[in-house]
Amino acid sequence: MTSHKKAISITTALIAAGTVLAFSGCAPATSTTAATDSLAVVATTTQVADFSREVAGTAGTVTGLVQANQSVHGFDPSAKNLLDLGAADVLVTSGVDLESWLDDAIAASGFAGTVIDASTGVTLLPSLEASGAMDPHVWTNPANAVQMVQNIAAGFVAADPAQAIAFEANSAAYVEKLTALNAWATASIDQVPLAERLLVTNHDAFTYFYNAYGITFVGSIIPSLDDNAEPSAAELDTLIAAIQASGAKAVFSEASLSPKLAETIAQEAGVQVYSVENALYSDSLGAAGSPGATYLSATIHNVTVLMDSWGYAVTPLPATLAV
């Protein structure tokens, strides 16, 4: 979808929102804080929404825009999304130009609160396949998730100093879990010889994960940062040849994408496919009750199925991550 079409769509959603309010005889509240005495937060992606809930605890209410198993790249805000955004005190974004639709949504909603760019201070890495672009999927490295959580906590404290103690305590407790997660992932993956740490994914979304754990990128089915892009036949042939030449044992689908192309590529290359319940969580977390319902559980799932594809078992989870 072009930016022109997206702007029209967002405007249409805002008109729909106004119509709903007109018929109900009410207007949007200026802030959830007025009714609940807690910080009203809207977060763009499922990951930053999860981080925001951990930091807010009971001192804030967090509404996510992008929903579970929904692509952030092709996201189109609804009338309700715009109403939620317009009523919020704080907006948390993932940043690095991931939310291409956000400027139009802010303008259409009338949001006038504090914006927190969760990726501030993260060392950015270039995309492995999209020439000249920086990879926005920074959260795939848990060390970056720590920075994002700390940014969110600082933003919440600035927006609502009266709840500073709660925000800082919640942040510290969650950072401890993220640190344990990173240590566990490192210990597990370190069992695998470097030459065997090969990964083929649905799209170019794991640069920071590869960099953190010494994993070799073989290729992706969609050679783009955008999971809505379509690969050419020549690109698919090149990927199949790369898989066969590299010795990679599997192709991974992603939970928010159709597994059909991954299954076809795996069959053509003569390797195993990990899809459906064994797919990786990348652009979006999963629904409640799924292995990817939270950032912690999604990362544990991803590392576990990767280790299985390489023929190794993960190390025991530390007590702080046990569920």
Q: How much is the average pLDDT of 73-91?
A: 95
Q: Residue 69's pLDDT is what?
A: 92
Q: Are 158 and 118 in contact (CB under 8 A)?
A: no
pLDDT of residue 30 exceeding 80 = no
Task: Give me the pLDDT at residue 2, please.
Answer: 42
Coil, helix or strand for 17?
Answer: helix
pLDDT of the residue at 145: 98
Q: Is the pLDDT of residue 20 over 50?
A: no
Mean pLDDT across the stretch 78-103? 97
- pLDDT tens for 133-157 read 999 999 999 999 999 999 999 999 9
193: which DSSP letter?
-
Closest CA to 53 of 42, 65, 43, 62: 62
Q: Please tell me what DSSP assigns to residue 37.
A: S
Is 4 a residue whose pLDDT tops 70? no
Global pTM value: 0.89
pLDDT at 108: 97
CA neighbours within 13 Å on the CB side: how many for 23? 5
Q: Tell me the torsion sign for CA atoms 187, 191, 197, 203.
A: negative
Whether pLDDT at 323 is above 70: no
Per-residue model confidence (pLDDT) at position 203: 85
CA proximity to 102, closest of 48, 55, 138: 48
Summarize the confidence of residues 86-101 as an average pLDDT. Answer: 97
Least confident of 27-31, 244-248, 304-308: 27-31
What digits encode the pLDDT tens for the residues 204-258?
899 999 999 999 999 999 887 776 778 889 999 999 999 999 999 999 999 888 8
Token pair recorded at residue 145: 């998730």
Q: Which of the four pLDDT bands, split at 50, 70 and 90, describes residue 9?
A: low
Report the SS3 class of residue 312.
coil
At residue 125, what is the residue type?
Answer: L
What is the set of domains in the chain, with CATH numbers?
A: 3-181 (3.40.50.1980), 185-321 (3.40.50.1980)
List, in sequence order, every residue forming a beta bridge with 198; answer none if it has no partner.
216
Query: For 254, phi and psi rounded to 5 degrees?
Result: -120, 145
Each residue's pLDDT tens digit, 105-117: 999 999 999 999 9
pLDDT value of position 27: 37
Q: Which residues pair with 60 in a beta bridge?
A: 39
Q: Give the DSSP H or E segment for 52.
A: helix 46-56
User: Across-strand partners of 203?
Assistant: 222
**288-297: pLDDT as tens digits:** 999 999 999 9
Q: Is 166 exposed, middle or buried (0-12, 13-18, 19+ CB in 10 A)?
A: buried
- Three-state SS string over 86-134 comes to HCCCEEEECCCCCCCCHHHHHHHHCCCCEEEECCCCCCCCECCCCCCCE
- Residue 22 has a pLDDT of 38
Cα 136 from Cα 280, distance rounded (Å): 17
Q: Give the position of tokens 């139009």.
A: 104
For residues 25-31, give the mean pLDDT: 36
Residue 156 to residue 154: CA distance in whole angstroms:
6
pLDDT in tens, 120-134: 999 999 998 878 899
pLDDT at 86: 98
Cα gap 180→229, rounded to integer Å: 35
pLDDT at 12: 52
Q: How far apart are CA 42 and CA 59, in angstroms?
A: 14
Question: Is a pLDDT exceeding 60 seen at residue 196?
Answer: yes
